[in-house]
């Protein structure tokens, strides 16, 4: 397999997550694989002019704003075949950027209390989930404004506090690019979960057309 060149892009405007520390942990974890070379960046300028050397960009961002040039650069990159992996608060980012959220097909709409819950595999034959079984996670269970007809669902979770089931992971295409979103990722309790790490690795490889 050709090595995947990945950018872990971190925004730090949010106050409820250690985006920089968690993003650096994810970057190190991905670099410990044989198939991924990951860079870490907090430089928004790279979105307008600098993504072309990467096969996939992983967004671990929160709130923030994109300039027109940055949003256009990102969306053109994906339309042209670049991969996009949105993680956790990526759905709560850039709230005025309609193009970004149209691409992602997800917009943060609240979450459960921080708690233990089960993540269920909905599509066990997909390359991201193949061989995975349902697993326990300690995290926020995200609620999303999301069009279920526009994406393929891979995982879901039942929220006992609301008696509702919510999608946890989905994918679709945007132009020639692949888009994958995974709702977990609040803190180290889930970042160190082996199933979570497998999904991060496979999600990056899938978005970059390596699997």
| pLDDT score of 11 | 82
Residues in the chain: 211
d(CA 209, CA 178): 8
What the block records as the tokens of 72 is 């256009």
d(CA 15, CA 25): 18
- Structural fold of domain 4-108+167-207: Rossmann fold (3.40.50)
d(CA 58, CA 7): 6
pLDDT band at residue 14 using 50, 70 and 90 as cut-offs? low
What the block records as the tokens of 78 is 């994906």
Q: Which residues contact 4 (CB under 8 A, 6 or more apart)?
A: 35, 36, 37, 55, 56, 204, 205, 208, 210
- Please provide the average confidence, as pLDDT, over all residues in the chain: 96
Average pLDDT over residues 62-81: 96
| pLDDT score of 38 | 98
pLDDT band at residue 13 using 50, 70 and 90 as cut-offs? confident
Q: Which residues contact 68 (CB under 8 A, 6 or more apart)?
A: none
Domain boundaries, the chain: 4-108+167-207
Are β-strands 107-111 and 115-121 bridged in parallel, bridged antiparallel, or unpaired?
Answer: unpaired
- Which DSSP letter does residue 15 get? S
* CB neighbourhood size of 49 (10 A): 10
- Which residue, among 39, 42, 33, has the nearest Cα to 7 in the 3D structure? 39
d(CA 75, CA 87): 17
d(CA 66, CA 48): 10
pLDDT digits (tens, 9 = 90+) for 153-189: 999 999 999 999 999 999 999 999 999 999 999 999 9
Average pLDDT over residues 8-33: 89
| pLDDT for 62 beyond 80 | yes
| pLDDT for 16 beyond 80 | no
> What pTM was estimated for this model as a whole?
0.97
Q: Write the Ramachandran bin of 209: left for phi over 0, alpha for psi from -120 to 50, otherwise beta.
A: left
């Amino acid at each position: 397999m050709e090595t995947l060149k990945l950018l872990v892009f971190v925004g730090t405007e949010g106050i409820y997550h250690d985006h920089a520390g968690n993003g650096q942990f994810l970057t190190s974890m991905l670099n410990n694989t044989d198939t991924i070379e990951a860079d870490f960046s907090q430089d928004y300028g790279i979105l307008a002019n600098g993504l072309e050397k990467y096969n996939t960009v992983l967004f671990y961002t929160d709130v923030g704003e994109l300039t027109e040039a940055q949003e256009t650069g990102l969306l053109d990159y994906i339309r042209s075949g670049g991969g996009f992996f949105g993680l956790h608060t990526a759905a709560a980012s850039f709230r005025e950027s309609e193009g970004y959220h149209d691409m992602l097909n997800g917009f943060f709409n609240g979450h459960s209390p921080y708690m233990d819950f089960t993540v269920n595999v909905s599509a066990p034959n997909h390359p991201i989930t193949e061989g995975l079984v349902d697993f326990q996670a300690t995290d926020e269970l995200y609620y999303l404004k999301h069009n279920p007809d526009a994406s393929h669902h891979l995982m879901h979770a039942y929220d006992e506090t609301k008696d509702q089931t919510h999608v946890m992971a989905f994918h679709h295409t945007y132009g020639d690019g692949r888009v994958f979103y995974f709702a977990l990722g609040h803190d180290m309790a889930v970042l160190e979960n082996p199933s979570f790490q497998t999904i991060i690795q496979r999600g990056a490889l899938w978005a970059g057309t390596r699997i």
